[in-house]
Amino acid sequence: MCLESIKHQSVGCGNLEVIVVDNGSDNIPMFAVQEYDFTSLLQEKVPGPGPARNTGIKAAKGEYLFFIDADCLAHEDWVRNGLAAFDKYPDTKIFGGDVQIARENTSEFTPLEAYESVFAYQQEKYIKDLGFSGSGNLATIPSVFDDVGFFPGIEVAEDRAWGRRSLQKGYITRYLADFIIYHPARKSSMELCDKWERHVRHDYEEISGTFMASFKWILRSLLVFLSIFIHGLKIIRSNRIRGFFVKVNAFKVLTKIRLFRVQVMLRLMYDVEYRISGVRWNRN
């Protein structure tokens, strides 16, 4: 479906160089791209989005680089609006766009769709408050990688780490509201838990060994717990979802995920065996 959305871009796909990078399949799945003659398929066996994106970057010949994940759909004007931004803001070399939830049934929300519509992929916040864009909806130019370097591996959050390096090099990432992709909601709360376990581990690695690390981590755990009630108000006020029961279901998922995060945070402090077990990377 991702390639189908690229095929129907309003700029046309004739001038696009589309590179798909398979990330570790035993047999490279040529069938996935065989009907899209504008696409090339490469393989990167080192797991993680960073190494996969790096393989595509090294092979790309175009003037601009646009990144999208294989399970996402691009808005029909995704490429057009991204290219227009380079002309409109000539001093900006990195852009990140909106990521919205692709719903299976547009007439109703599943609990996970309701939750993720409010809380997932907060690109505008990441870019404006933290200075980086998620790499699943990112546009830049090759020379930025010559200067900043490539994405790191799965031992860190690759988009955040690369975004920080680019910021240190003087590159400002600009948010584009009309540079839109659609990401499917997770199918189960376990997928969300796996995601948050990786993020929490990455955060722990960053803070461990610093001054008063244990105190800061316990305080952060408490704040995550309290955020259940604070972000419950965000659900109530959100205009991305509507309906009493839709918002109740979103709050139930919020509570489950935040309590899971607190559990992971405390286990990282007190369970040595768990701490050294490492990040579980979903290869499916």
- 223-231: long-range pairs with CB below 8 Å, 24+: 224/258, 224/261, 224/262, 224/265, 225/258, 225/259, 225/262, 227/258, 228/254, 228/255, 228/258, 228/259, 231/119, 231/258
Instruction: With H, G, I as helix, E, B as strand and everything else as coil, classify residue 175.
Output: strand
Give the span between the Cα atoms of 218 and 221, in whole angstroms.
Answer: 5
Q: What is the pLDDT of residue 122?
A: 86
Q: What is the pLDDT of residue 283?
A: 42
Q: What is the pLDDT of residue 108?
A: 87
The per-residue pLDDT string of the chain (284 residues; one tens digit each, 9 = 90 and over) reads: 899 999 999 998 888 999 999 998 888 888 888 899 899 999 999 999 999 999 999 999 999 999 999 999 999 999 999 999 999 999 999 999 999 998 877 778 999 999 999 998 889 989 999 899 999 999 999 999 999 999 999 888 899 999 999 999 999 999 999 999 999 888 888 989 998 998 899 899 889 888 899 999 999 999 999 999 999 999 999 988 999 999 999 999 999 999 999 999 999 999 988 988 865 554 43
Bridge partners, residue 20, by sequence: 41
Instruction: With H, G, I as helix, E, B as strand and everything else as coil, classify residue 78.
Output: helix
Give the span between the Cα atoms of 263 and 268, in whole angstroms.
Answer: 9
For residue 55, the surrounding DSSP H or E stretch is helix 49-59
Q: What angle do CA 32, 36, 38 make, to 5 degrees?
A: 125
**Is-contact 41 18, C-beta < 8 A?**
no
Q: What is the pLDDT of residue 280?
A: 58
CB environment 161-195: b (16+ within 10 A), e (fewer): bbbbbbbeeebebbbbeebbbbbbbbeebeebbee
**Is-contact 95 176, C-beta < 8 A?**
yes
Q: State residue 158 phi and psi, 5-degree precision.
A: -65, -35
Query: Within its chain, how far is the Cα of 223 from the centroid?
Result: 23
Q: Residue 6's closest CA among 16, 49, 137, 104?
A: 16
Q: What is the pLDDT of residue 279?
A: 58
Exposure on the CB side of residue 155, measured as CA atoms within 13 A: 6
Can you list the alpha helix ranges (DSSP code H) found in 189-243?
A: 189-207, 213-237
Measured between alpha carbons, how far is residue 51 from residues 21, 59, 156 in Å? Answer: 10, 13, 12
| pTM confidence score | 0.78
- 191-195: long-range pairs with CB below 8 Å, 24+: 191/282, 192/112, 192/253, 192/257, 193/257, 193/260, 194/280, 194/282
